[in-house]
Amino acid sequence: MATWNSRGLRGSALEEFINQTCEQYRERNLALIQKVPTPITPVRIEKESRHITLAYFDKKSTVDYIGVVQGIPVCFDAKECHTDNFPLQNIHEHQVRFMGDFEKQDGIAFLILYFSHRDEIYYMRYEEMLKFWNRGQNGGRKHFKYEELNPKWFLTRNGNYLVPFLEGIALDLKEREEN
């Protein structure tokens, strides 16, 4: 069973940026997106601070975020990468299955990838993720390279939105209409 140690995961900057963006979208009535909590069972709690320092994951989570954008159901996972090679092991089979099922219900599933060493954010459509995933599952490379990504899906920060994923969704919808 997987364990979680709070000293190793003290909070992700990407997650915080997405949370702030989701709150701004909610305040402007553009979207309602919520962080999906990961169910854990605490094992060790510091008595004085009451902080959980060791816990077990109760079950596999689905994706990081789920919600609705102007009547369209969306779900996505946020991943951070420190190099130009993104290991596919960071995407779990149960997440791929969930996102596929979500797409079959006419929802939009995607990844937000943050290349921290470049300070760049990429919107990866489910179909693109699945292409890389299947390649790895069928004996190909177990990662994808930054150079393989389509430049039009990199998100540009504008105004106060730290992770402007609605831009990616708008482009995604346009592509779906055209195909």
* List of domains in the chain: 13-37+66-178 (3.40.1350.10)
Q: Which two tokens stand for residue 42?
A: 């605490």
81-108 burial string, b = 16+ CB within 10 Å, else e?
A: beeeebebeebeeebbebbeebbeeebb
Strands 72-81 and 108-115: parallel
The answer on whether 101 is annotated among ligand-binding residues is no
The answer to whether the beta carbons of residues 123 and 153 sit under 8 Å apart is yes
Q: Which residues pair with 35 in a beta bridge?
A: 65
Measured CA to CA, the distance from residue 110 to residue 77 in angstroms comes to 7
Residue 98's SS3 state is helix
Torsions phi, psi of 32, nearest 5?
Answer: -130, 100
127-149: pLDDT as tens digits: 999 999 999 999 999 999 999 99
The answer on whether 70 is annotated among ligand-binding residues is no
Computed over every residue of the chain, the mean pLDDT equals 87
Is this model's pTM higher than 0.85 or not? no
50-94: pLDDT as tens digits: 776 765 555 566 899 999 999 999 999 999 999 999 999 999 999
Q: What amino acid occupies position 127?
A: E
Q: Nearest to residue 70, comparing CAs of 170, 172, 171?
A: 170
The answer on whether 137 is annotated among ligand-binding residues is no
The answer on whether 20 is annotated among ligand-binding residues is no
The answer to whether the beta carbons of residues 56 and 70 sit under 8 Å apart is no
